[in-house]
Structure 1
């Protein structure tokens, strides 16, 4: 009821406004009819008098012999006017307060007034939040909507920057602190508007320190255009290297919520539990096999993330996709991600729960986890009945049906689909993931410099390498879980072990070169086989991530032609003839990042 109060309040206001106008009109008509004979003068007097009541100036004196309806209208009219004035005054005071506060501290700038921007601002409300917020809406907002945003701490501006002249855009950019915002988010519902708004503002951004651009764009061709536009800016002006670009979609954020921050481990924990101390998980664990219901955006994002986040061995990820129509989905996937089949063994079935073919598909597979992504939760509920109660499940429930009864018989079910659960600082901004990627890249560059193979600081990395770094950082939790089971140690003990191993590796890097370094690394792996397992696993994950980005094995590194000579899945070849060109020790750095200080990239 509380959420619907603004709607009912507006309805009540307009009902009272209409009733007051009619009462005032009727009472003045009754009063003036005997006095004024001309119809047009009568109408003018009645209308004029009615409007005067709303301007705190009743047209009749207290001694006048008027109808009782006039007395009601005389009181209601100024009250309703005061409500409007008070709302506007409150908005101005709130806006002034937010503008003043925005002059201090870290700043977030949001373009687009939408359900997602409102949910995101709601998540940022609280004393522990360090950000000041500004919201820019291209279309006019009602006073109530403005007040709702201002109460969330966002200074609200109404301006379509695409329609401004160059000087107007420059002045407005300064007003909203465009170049001083730590995060700039384009959260409009229309991705074409987000695209055009970003391009309109790109030349106005004058970064003094690191800034992150978050763009809600799903279409691959639009993403490429944005990347090219920013890359041209970086080549012409050094300052644009301080800009990081992140694309996102609501489907992608939902998968981040399911798999991020170590959540992916939950879905493969039954497999990891099969390990005993001393086991080689690359040989011991069976392939991950996911069952996915629903051919939609959520499932596409899951497919792309699964070949990174669920890598626990040498085998391809297996995935069975079921829906009433999968042909177009499959064709689109093959077209946009031609190398995905190198990392993913995908089966598609045209079926739905309640059909004999669905029963056969459900019972013939030894599934690791279920992802019930159908938009209708009742279809997901029906599908759930086909599977054993101990299997981990992700259950899409956007309408928010009360399905808590499921937990009485199934403990491993995670419900998702609520917008407020994904529009959070942790999921949208991904600050910890980015920091992990930047930290590892620094360590990577240091080792590469010592070994004489280069290395670049974070601002100079290409979008491909930055994305590779983030994907590697996302997999760190899976490595930690595997190592914990393989060594029989708790996670704090694993970090301590990795810290000791890292110190020995640092000494090796500092004292050995060339063939001596390779021989020393081989001996190091022989002494600590779990590190070689983790290094091989990391290389497999890295190759998979490059398959998703459309790369294939080639003679040279070329991000335009999408070729890379180190996309080698044979670890023996990597440690042999490809050692000095592909540097498997960099995969080891990823494993050693579990010590807690460093994180990952390639």
Structure 2
């Protein structure tokens, strides 16, 4: 479009110059330059007074100008109409789009996420309450709809039913809930629906609603997950800055996490998860948690996430960082994480304290929600960083920017649990026959991924069968009796059979993945003991997974004060 506009601009300018030269030659010598200009400008509206008398001779410059000028006028009219109708054109293209991404929200996070998705080559439709200017969304695939996203009509205008994903990223949780309810109503009973990701602005509320979503996942056909920017940014941190276990015989790695906001708690749990995933031992990682309420914070996290003490050694200190640092310069930390509500004071400390730089042998991370521009100034790129990074030690980590990662957002709770179910399946299949599904998650077919996601959605039905719900863990787990284990294993087998038969599988011996035959596709009474044990193991592993994610099973009809059996 830029090249085309430039060509028409040159055409209009050439018509003006040639028209002036030709009109000067054609007009009588008594005509002034004002007359020449007037007659030349008439060419742009398909007429000029000297040409109306059918002169015997017309200069070639004027012959060219009399055709070039109307073409320029036509192009100008078309472009003006396109600009005036830009909103309606975008609305029509949004309504008819397919396999696109819809992003609702007027926040910087929503805009950054839209830019990130568009940069990866995806078609994006932005839904905003603020009117969209005619030149604001210049990219051909960046479409926009102005209106209240809580309205079904606005979501239809964004092509919701044909979208691939819907991200709801408003700055008010009640607005985000309202949009998700409207989307759910629009998509109910549809077999193929977009995946819906709802941003929540309170980390604790997000965790609680994830539990409620697990308990309701079997009551609708569309996928819904909640996410918080802290969770996504903490996972992204270790993707960008991996932590490697020390070699055998080396001293343990020491990490300092200091802060009084929600991000230190999330970062501590994510550090433990990451350490477990890379195979680090508990004695190889020592974490000092510094903060005004560090002891109570750690007690709460230990009660919620039982794996913490099995993965690393955490030492809480109810102290301020500036009083703690003088005692640690002789025994360095590999990493120091600063995550304080007072971001300006934290930045001043990080920028003005050589003692802090000396206390870290690897890096000092300053986690910030607001200083995104400062982070760009420090880490703009190999040839675009404007500020010295203190020899590579100082990292200003912008939480909002790093959380704008669509793959990590889509790797929400449902996806992580599905992946863990598959990992458990691989562990159980090790040493035996290797079916086509015994591959890594990245190589797994979408049909088999959906089978694992259906297993996660089946948790809700199991809870209903026991008269239980999933809740945020607070130190104790609801245990399942042997009788209930058998009941839930039978439910799990029935769910698995229904899901496989829905994919075209049928009973047959031996197993044949190409012909979709499986010997375990029989009723529970006819199922062999190895097949029953697989179903029991899935139920046992369900409880373990829930505990690792900070959830537990609660019996609704249990007497007050009684512990789950």
Q: TM-score range by the shorter chain?
A: 0.5 to 0.7
Number of residue pairs aligned between Structure 1 and Structure 2: 366
Per the TM alignment, residue 129 of structure 1 is displaced from its structure 2 partner at its CA by: 0.7
Residue 191 of structure 1: which of 173, 184, 190 is its match? 173
Cα offsets for 1:309-358 (capped at 9, x unmatched): 12233316532122355467456546655764454533232444543x43
TM alignment of 1:157-556, pairs within 5 A = 157-161=146-150, 169=152, 173-206=155-188, 207-209=190-192, 211-217=194-200, 218-221=202-205, 223-225=207-209, 228=212, 231-232=215-216, 234-235=218-219, 237=220, 240=221, 243-260=222-239, 263-265=240-242, 267-268=243-244, 271-272=245-246, 274=247, 287-311=252-276, 312-315=279-282, 317-324=285-292, 326=294, 329-330=297-298, 333=301, 337=305, 340-355=308-323, 357-360=324-327, 362-363=328-329, 367-374=333-340, 375=343, 376-382=346-352, 385-386=355-356, 387-388=358-359, 390-396=361-367, 398-399=370-371, 400-401=373-374, 402=377, 410-417=391-398, 419-430=400-411, 441=422, 444=425, 457-462=451-456, 547-550=547-550
Instruction: Verify the 8 A CA contact 2:337 2:365 in the aligned structure 1.
Output: yes
Does residue 101 of structure 2 align to residue 134 of structure 1?
no
* Root-mean-square deviation over aligned CA pairs: 4.8
2:85, 2:270 → 1: CA distance? 45
1:459, 1:100 → 2: CA distance? 33
Inter-CA distance 227–155: structure 2 relative to 1 (3 Å threshold): farther
Per the TM alignment, residue 294 of structure 1 is displaced from its structure 2 partner at its CA by: 1.4
Inter-CA distance 301–150: structure 2 relative to 1 (3 Å threshold): farther
Per the TM alignment, residue 104 of structure 1 is displaced from its structure 2 partner at its CA by: 4.1
Instruction: Verify the 8 A CA contact 2:263 2:339 in the aligned structure 1.
Output: yes
Instruction: Verify the 8 A CA contact 1:213 1:246 in the aligned structure 2.
Output: yes
* Counterpart position of 1:148: 136
2:309, 2:458 → 1: CA distance? 20
Per the TM alignment, residue 426 of structure 1 is displaced from its structure 2 partner at its CA by: 4.2
Inter-CA distance 250–115: structure 2 relative to 1 (3 Å threshold): same
Q: Give SS of 1:254's match.
A: helix
Q: Give SS of 1:209's match.
A: coil
1:209, 1:203 → 2: CA distance? 14
Q: Give unmatched runs, 5+ long, in structure 1.
A: 1-85, 276-283, 467-513, 515-541, 552-557, 562-602
Q: Give SS of 1:392's match.
A: strand
Q: Give SS of 2:100's match.
A: strand
2:543, 2:338 → 1: CA distance? 28
TM-score (norm. length: structure 1):
0.50
* Larger-gyration structure (1/2): 2
Cα offsets for 1:252-290 (capped at 9, x unmatched): 232132113xx353x33xx44x36xxxxxxxx5654432
Q: Give unmatched runs, 5+ long, in structure 2.
A: 1-78, 379-384, 438-447, 461-527, 529-541, 556-565
Q: Give SS of 1:390's match.
A: strand
Q: Give SS of 2:101's match.
A: strand
1:143, 1:106 → 2: CA distance? 23
1:332, 1:314 → 2: CA distance? 23
Does residue 103 of structure 2 align to residue 119 of structure 1?
no
Q: Give SS of 2:234's match.
A: helix
Q: Which has the higher helix share?
A: 1
1:105, 1:122 → 2: CA distance? 19
Inter-CA distance 363–372: structure 2 relative to 1 (3 Å threshold): same
Inter-CA distance 451–366: structure 2 relative to 1 (3 Å threshold): farther
Per the TM alignment, residue 212 of structure 1 is displaced from its structure 2 partner at its CA by: 2.4
Inter-CA distance 212–442: structure 2 relative to 1 (3 Å threshold): farther
Inter-CA distance 295–220: structure 2 relative to 1 (3 Å threshold): closer
Q: Give SS of 1:309's match.
A: helix
Q: Give SS of 2:232's match.
A: helix
Inter-CA distance 354–393: structure 2 relative to 1 (3 Å threshold): closer
Runs of 4+ with deviation above 6 angstroms: 86-89, 449-452, 463-466, 542-545
